Chain A
Amino acid sequence: GIQVEQSPPDLILQEGANSTLRCNFSDSVNNLQWFHQNPWGQLINLFYIPSGTKQNGRLSATTVATERYSLLYISSSQTTDSGVYFCAVDTGGFKTIFGAGTRLFVKA
């Protein structure tokens, strides 16, 4: 089956810093999503981005489907950005497969 790899696995930032999270996938996908899991365990949809670029406030994402990767950019990070960021892909079989996540801690 498809492999989804996220990097880095862990990231520590000082508040105000910028960061880039990467998601590589091993096969063609129908869609790709980015999620944030907050410290309370809730999974929050960030982007639904099978291709192209989207922005939402301090967050933006780019997916290059032909090269099988997606990037999540966090600018001017805040402590509330802490948590785990997951990339998830759908290969068209109605199954959404997740990467292992990037654990982010933003220090005040």
Chain B
Amino acid sequence: DAGITQSPRHKVTETGTPVTLRCHQTENHRYMYWYRQDPGHGLRLIHYSYGVKDTDKGEVSDGYSVSRSKTEDFLLTLESATSSQTSVYFCATGSGTTNTEAFFGQGTRLTVV
């Protein structure tokens, strides 16, 4: 599996505060993704990146922003956390070009109180 590290693994934060989650990969994969997982919804794509400084929105991007200043790091920021953003967040990376096999990190459990 790809070397993908998410930090922190667990976080509790207050409503209205900004939160940043980090994803770090050691595989030099071009593509990186942020998903959230909620009961009954499976995994939903928040944002993705197809190269350094190249990002785009996924299915559920409202309230989130991302940045990718170097290949190995992809940051997800909740600009002003809300209780609806309580979830488990997964980072993934993709190898290949047009056919992208995805590999996942271990997840970050975020609770907004």
Contact = CB atoms under 8 A, between A and B. Distances in A.
Contacts of B70: none
Interface in B41-84: 41-45, 48, 50, 58-59
B102 interface: yes
Given A41-B107, A101-B42, A94 B102 contact: no
Given A86-B43, A100-B42, A94 B94 contact: yes
Given A31-B99, A31-B101, A45-B101, A94 B41 contact: no
Interface string B3-22: 00000000000000000000
B101 A33 contact: yes
A43 B92 CA distance: 10
What's the dominant secondary structure at chain A's contact region?
strand
A21 to B, nearest CB: 14
A16 B45 CA distance: 35
B53 to A, nearest CB: 15
Contact of B90 (A31, A43, A48, A99): A43
A33 B94 CA distance: 12
Interface residues of B, number: 27
B98 A48 contact: no
Interface string A68-89: 0000000000000000001010
Contact of B45 (A30, A97, A100): A97
Nearest to A1: B59
**Would you list the 5 A-B pairs with minimal beta carbon distance, nearest first?**
A43-B104, A98-B43, A100-B42, A98-B42, A48-B101
Interface of A: 1, 30-31, 33, 35, 41-45, 48, 50, 86, 88, 90, 92, 94-101
Interface of B: 1, 31, 33, 35, 40-45, 48, 50, 58-59, 88, 90, 92, 94, 98-104, 106-107
Given A88-B102, A100-B40, 8 more contacts: A31-B99, A41-B107, A45-B1, A48-B101, A92-B98, A95-B33, A96-B100, A100-B41
9 contacts: A1-B59, A33-B102, A42-B104, A45-B102, A45-B103, A92-B98, A94-B50, A97-B59, A98-B35
